[in-house]
Chains A and B, each alone.
Chain A
Amino acid sequence: MAAPSPWDATRAREIIDAHLELEGPALPILHALQETFGHVPREAVPMVASALNVSRAEMHGIVTFYHDFREEPAGEHVVKVCRAESCQSRGGREIGDRIAALLGLKWYETSADGRVTLEPVYCLGLCTMGPNAMVDGKPVARIDKVGAARLVEEVTR
């Protein structure tokens, strides 16, 4: 993953402008902002709102409605563990709890040193080979106790 850029209003303006030709550009803009800055910076919200001609409150509502959009920067590594039924049927609940305990994090929490963010995810489409996770966008399947420890070691090293 490319490291997130620090806040830059000019850059944000360019990102917003580049999408204004789209029909219904709000989500593509928010995704692009998050891709660049690692989250949707508070400063960007009024800019998007005025570009799309909606109120700030409305724009804030949109950002917070979607689970993906972050208002705070994520950790260096993002661990998304599948909590859905098919993974549960293969021991996913225990494995997820184990990963959380090994990281010493609660769901949606980022470690104090900014290294790791832990998030739940509801299905990665790998349901025959759970318990599954996505670490920095890479799929990890068939996670057992050893796999959980390895996963945690890799993101905390």
Chain B
Amino acid sequence: MSRIFVPKDVAALALGADAVAAAIAEEAAKRGLAIEIVRNGSRGAFFLEPLVEVETPFGRVGYREIVADDVASLFEADFLSGGDHPTCIGKTDDFPWFAGQTRLTFARCGIVDPLSLDDYAALGGWKGLKRALALGEIGTLEEVSLSGLRGRGGAGFPTGVKWKTVAMAKADRKYVICNADEGDSGTFADRMIMEGDPFCLIEGMVICGLAVGATKGFVYSRSEYPHANATFARAIEIARAAGHLGPNIDGSGRAFELELRVGAGAYVCGEETALMESLEGKRGIVRAKPPLPAIAGLFGKPTVVNNLLSLATIPFILAEGAQAYADFGAGRSRGTMPIQIAGNVRYGGLWETAFGVTLGEIVETIGGGTATGRPVKAVQCGGPLGAYFPVSLFDTPYDYEAFTAAGGLIGHGGIVVFDDTADMAEMAHFAFEFGAIESCGKCTPCRIGAVRGREVMEKVLEGRGGAADLTLLEDLCETMKFGSLCALGGFIPYPVTSAMTHFPDDFRRAGLPAAAE
């Protein structure tokens, strides 16, 4: 029986994948053909979606940008045997955009049926957990440390160090939290795993729980991701029924429970202490550190808080060994990064690769430049609190240290491309506006500073600003950078000052008549 893959990833759904799947089923029935339609996640090349694939004896063959109206002609072209068609991209694995990647964290995403335990096991699933159980706590912690894995949520903190701190803390109860509050514009990697390879996250969290002595895990996701949440909730049920979660994990005698929680539209709840407040049922207000969450976290107990990608990379590290992961990368940035190429870009999507590729290669070669065909003006890296990079910095290698040296940050791996029509003063205004909307209000530099910054930028945008206002902005950024309690207020200066430094002309609008409207 032919196996046909029609993605169920929300991006594919937005482009009509459900109608495609229905049309394929209908056409097959009409022709009396037995087929199995698998609703996989996305392989991450969103410019190909809906990407329909067919399993053939020589591998999976892909058909790009399929709409329901294409379906009859696909059958005519005998696509069930990989037949040629104007939409055919040949063997999917050989398509250059896929062939050029190193997929470790995303090895299965878009390949498997996300809710099939058979598919998961067939492609190496649970191998990492098995090895972790054999290695024991200390051996597992050692592997995570040796892999060089650093947190993929923003700060790049060594995961092994965090886990060891929690493992050493003495307490009657400990927690593992997966931070899936993926609020950064230009990022969708966490979402893709929840939709496309949820068991991988579950396996990573179980390994973490066993290693640090935690018996309960929470995945804190966002309400903006209803599809991901539905798939992940189902995956938890399936894993529990099969004994991969619960009182006796895979017959080991060890317990670990997992619960999905959904936020309520507050960006700041991605900050780990605000997240824990929110999980406890309070307002998502940032806590002062110390104490570190690793010592006194959720409900005052030692808690690992890791980004979803950090946790979803653990099964590979345990299954293949720390060295297999550390062999990739550059300098102190080991392994691979699922880079999310977004915005005004021709070939947008998730591209996992070893650290060290340059920003220019990512944008121009892999991303194919802008979608509009106009010149690139700026690239925002690392979400709303990340810096705008001009084209002159395109030789910056994609690694934590090089990005810091260039005045930016990698963050969660998002890259948003802007063409030459972008107005960087508008973007600086937006950074303050976003900060003002999302500030938790705990500290003055951020709460007042973001509002003040927005007001000054309004003046600048209306052409009423002078040199004194730009100096005021610089001072304000200085105050926010050093006086804010967390990185929301502390990092708003990144987009603002990078825009001012690299695109000063956009901030000189004296020629404009005041209040043009």
Interface residues of A (CB under 8 A from B): 22-28, 30-31, 52, 61-62, 65-69, 84-90, 121-130, 132, 134, 137-142
Contacts and interface: CB of A to CB of B under 8 A. Distances in A.
Given A68-B264, A89-B416, A126 B349 contact: no
B343 A90 contact: yes
B185 A122 contact: yes
B265 A127 contact: no
A138 B183 CA distance: 19
B39 interface: no
A128 B345 contact: yes
B282 interface: yes
Contacts of B224: 121, 123-125, 134
A66 B264 contact: yes
B407 to A, nearest CB: 18
B270 to A, nearest CB: 11
Contacts of B300: none
A128 B282 contact: no
A123 B184 contact: yes
Interface string B294-305: 000001000000
Nearest to B279: A24
A26 to B, nearest CB: 3
Contact of B46 (A24, A61, A68, A128): A128
A152 B319 CA distance: 50
Nearest to B419: A89
Q: Quick one: which of A52, A69, A88, A125 has the most chain B CB within 10 A?
A: A125
Q: What 10 A-B pairs are tightest by C-beta distance, nearest first?
A: A128-B348, A26-B281, A66-B264, A84-B185, A67-B265, A127-B342, A139-B14, A68-B264, A141-B14, A89-B343
Q: What secondary structure prevails in chain B residues at the interface with A?
A: mixed
A112 B486 CA distance: 41
Contact of B340 (A26, A122, A127, A130): A127
29 contacts: A24-B280, A24-B299, A27-B262, A30-B264, A31-B223, A31-B262, A65-B284, A67-B265, A68-B223, A68-B265, A84-B434, A86-B342, A86-B416, A121-B224, A123-B186, A126-B10, A127-B340, A127-B343, A127-B348, A128-B11, A128-B47, A128-B342, A128-B343, A129-B11, A129-B348, A138-B13, A140-B14, A141-B14, A142-B15
Given A30-B264, A139-B14, A141-B11, A125 B225 contact: yes
B497 interface: no
Contacts of B349: 128
Nearest to B372: A90
Contact of B418 (A65, A89, A141): A89
A147 B191 CA distance: 25
Interface in B339-386: 340-345, 348-349, 371, 380, 384
Contacts of A132: 14
A41 to B, nearest CB: 16
B310 interface: no
Given A62-B282, A127-B188, A89 B262 contact: no
Given A125-B191, A134-B224, 13 more contacts: A23-B279, A26-B281, A27-B279, A31-B262, A62-B282, A69-B264, A86-B342, A89-B344, A90-B371, A121-B265, A127-B187, A127-B414, A141-B11
Interface residues of B, number: 61
A128 B341 contact: yes
Nearest to A127: B342
B283 interface: yes
A137 B281 contact: no
A129 B14 contact: yes
A137 B226 contact: yes
B63 interface: no
Contacts of B281: 24-27, 52, 62
Interface string B239-271: 000000000000000000001011111110000
A126 B414 CA distance: 12
B430 interface: yes
Given A65-B266, A85-B427, A129-B46, A141 B15 contact: yes
B178 to A, nearest CB: 15
Given A62-B282, A62-B283, A128-B46, A86 B186 contact: yes
Contacts of A30: 264
Given A66-B265, A139-B14, A126 B280 contact: no
A125 B418 contact: no
A51 B186 CA distance: 40
